[in-house]
Amino acid sequence: MLTYLAKIACVLGLHRYREWTYVAPTVCEQLPVCERCGHFGSEKNRTVHVWGNPVYSAEGVCEKIEACLRCRATKPVVLAIVHVLGESAYISSDSCVMARTCNRCRWIDLESAATYHVFGEWVDAADICHQLRNCRRCGGQEKQDCHDWLSKPYGSICSQCHTTKPTRPGLCYQCGRRAIPGDNVCYSCI
């Protein structure tokens, strides 16, 4: 008796929807199914994907995606960029910046970046008391002083350019008295 009444209820459209069932094996759309007659309800539907493990989206790219095992839909994986960093190396042939680079996508890790010049020998500059050397990679130049210091009682003086250097700052390099403010000599030794 109960089955007959249940069949009549389903014929009249009074289905008892309890389960959700996929519409087809390669589709992720689900519809409610009447537990009595197996009729698919059309008022409501939902999409339920079966996501696989994250994989790289393409060769040479570090973004990862997940693919649905049923319908092959894809979605990006949040916070799933995992770079494969190599050893620290120069970032280009004419640069002196060394950094770690991703072996997959060539992304440069700027936090590991450092500058390493490859300087040649020191050469005398056009002006006296200076030497220059050039970097063999980037062409950058470095300058250094090369004074010929002669000792004085309270400091030194360069024999070529006459630059002075007191032993004790604020005092005259020749006599040791208080120097002129901003200078290395006193009024009596000028």
Check: pTM over 0.85? Answer yes or no: no
- DSSP letter for each residue of 53-80: --EESSTT---EEEEBTTT--EEEPTT-
Asked whether the predicted pLDDT for residue 1 surpasses 60, the reply is no
Span 122-147, mean pLDDT? 89
Residue 2 pLDDT level (bands cut at 50, 70, 90): low
Distance CA 183, CA 165 (A): 10
pLDDT tens, position by position, 3-48: 777 777 777 777 777 788 888 889 999 888 887 787 777 778 888 9
Q: HSE of 6 in the Cβ direction (CA atoms, 13 Å)?
A: 11
Judged by phi (left if over 0) then psi (alpha if -120 to 50, else beta), residue 16 lies in beta
- CA 50 to each of CA 20, 77, 99, 136: distance values in angstroms, whole numbers, following the listed order: 15, 14, 40, 57
Domain ranges of the chain: 2-47, 51-82, 85-115, 147-190
Residue 183 tokens read as: 């200078």
Q: What is the largest CA-CA distance in the chain?
A: 130
